[in-house]
Amino acid sequence: MEKPRVFVTREVFQEALELLSKYYEVEVWDKYQPPPYDTLLSKAREADALYTLLTDRIDCNLLKQSPRLRIVAQMAVGFDNIDVKCATSLGIYVTNTPGVLTEATAEFTWALILAAARRVVEADHFVRWGEWWRLKTGWHPMMMLGLELRGKTLGVLGMGRIGSRVAEIGKAFGMKIIYHSRSRKPDIEEKIGAEYRSLENLLRESDILSIHLPLTEETRHLIGEKELKQMKRTAILVNTGRGAIVDTEALVKALREGWIAAAALDVFEEEPLNPNHPLTAFKNVVLAPHAASATRETRLRMAMMAAENLAAFAQGKVPPNLVNK
C-alpha cells in the first residue's frame, strides 16, 4: 500500500525523519530559509500531512486548497501561525509540542533577565570594543552599575508551564513573585508563595516583567503605551513569548523617553528583526533571535514529538498533542 505523504518544511533532526519515514513518504524542504508561501501552498496541495515550524503561514486559504491534508504537526508549542479554527472546521488535526521546551525557555528567560539587569552585553562591548581601555579606569566604583535581584519583584505575565518555571527560579534568587494569568494557579501560589495581581497592579509593582503568554486576538498588543506608562521607570521588560504581545512602536517610545529602564527581547513582531530597527540602537536592550528553546536536547525532543504526533496519526490513533478545540 502507498504510504501517505508528509512535507517537512525544514531540515530537522535525522532521528525524527527516520521515524517519519516508517509511516510516510517524506519530502523535506532543505533550504535554510522557510519555503515561500506559494511553494508551501503547492506542497500542501499534494500532502496528507505537514510538519511545520512557526515561520510557516498555515492560513485558511492554504488549508482549503489542500484536499488531501489531514494533519498539521507543528514543531513548537506556539501555533499562532496556523488557523486552527479553520483546520478544525475542515476536519484537519493540528498538534504542537508542549512541555518539552519548558526548561530551555525558562533558562533562557533567566539568561536575558540577568543580561539586562547586570548589563552583560553592554559590558562585553565595553571591553571588546576598547572603551574600557580608552578610559584607562581599571576597576571603578561607579562603573556598569546594574540592578540586584534579591528582594526585588518579579512579575510573570502568563503563568503556564514556562511562566511557572521562571517564577520558581525567581524564588531561588530571593525575589517576590507576583503574576497575572487567565486563571489563578493555586499550586504555584502554594509552592512558591506567588501572589495574583490584576494586570495593572502587575505592571505597577514589577521590577522585572516577564511575558509568557500565547499570541491570540486577546493578547495582541496587550502591552501598549498605556501599559508601559504604568510600569516603574526602573523596570525591565522581558519577552520570550511572542513579539506581537508588545506594541513595538510603543516600546521604542518607552525606551526613548525612559518610561522603563531596559528590555530583553527574544521575540519580535517581525522576524528576523531588521538590523536598522530602532530597537538595535539602545544600549539597554538585549536582543536574541527567537532562540529561547534552542538547546540541542530540547530541539531534539521537539522534533521527535512532532514526528510522534504524525506517527500516531498514521497508525490510526488520535495524535497525543492535539490543539483543535
In the complex, which residues of this chain contact ligand DGY (CB under 6 A)? 54, 76-78, 101, 293
Q: Is 204 annotated as a binding residue?
A: no
Helix (H) or strand (E) holding 237: strand 236-239
Q: Is 258 annotated as a binding residue?
A: no
For the packed helices 14-23 and 296-314, what is the interaxial angle rounded to 10 degrees? 0
Residues 148, 153, 158, CA angle at the centre, nearest 5°? Answer: 125
Please give the Cα distance from 182 to 218 (Å, whole number): 11
User: Is the CB of 54 or the CB of 87 nearer to ligand DGY?
Assistant: 54
Please give the Cα distance from 234 to 207 (Å, whole number): 7
> Is 297 buried (19+), middle (13-18) or exposed (0-12) by CB count in 10 A?
exposed
Please give the Cα distance from 163 to 147 (Å, whole number): 21
Please give the Cα distance from 72 to 310 (Å, whole number): 8
In 3-state terms the chain splits into helix, strand, coil percentages (rounded to 5) of: 40, 15, 45
The reply to whether 221 belongs to the active site is no
Q: CB within 8 A of 276, min separation 6: which ones?
A: none
The reply to whether 180 belongs to the active site is no
Q: Is 117 annotated as a binding residue?
A: no
User: Is the CB of 76 or the CB of 264 nearer to ligand DGY?
Assistant: 76
Give the shortest CB-178-to-ligand DGY separation in angstroms: 24
Residue with cell 514526528: 307
Q: Is 299 annotated as a binding residue?
A: no
User: Is the CB of 180 or the CB of 290 nearer to ligand DGY?
Assistant: 290
C-alpha closest to that of 155 among 224, 218, 235: 235
Give the shortest CB-126-to-ligand DGY separation in angstroms: 31
Give the shortest CB-196-to-ligand DGY separation in angstroms: 25
Give the shortest CB-289-to-ligand DGY separation in angstroms: 11
Residue with cell 498533542: 321
Q: Is 303 annotated as a binding residue?
A: no
Give the shortest CB-101-to-ligand DGY separation in angstroms: 5
User: Is the CB of 230 or the CB of 240 nearer to ligand DGY?
Assistant: 240
Q: Is 240 annotated as a binding residue?
A: yes
Write out the DSSP string of 149-166. Answer: -TT-EEEEE--SHHHHHH
Q: Is 291 annotated as a binding residue?
A: yes
Q: Which of 165, 212, 242, 299 is catalytic?
A: 242
The reply to whether 68 belongs to the active site is no
Give the shortest CB-160-to-ligand DGY separation in angstroms: 12
User: Is the CB of 69 or the CB of 101 nearer to ligand DGY?
Assistant: 101
Q: Which of 180, 197, 212, 290 is catalytic?
A: 290
Please give the Cα distance from 194 to 184 (Å, whole number): 10
User: Is the CB of 76 or the CB of 115 nearer to ligand DGY?
Assistant: 76
Residues labelled catalytic: 242, 271, 290
Report the binding-site residues for NADP(+): 159-162, 181-183, 240-242, 290-292
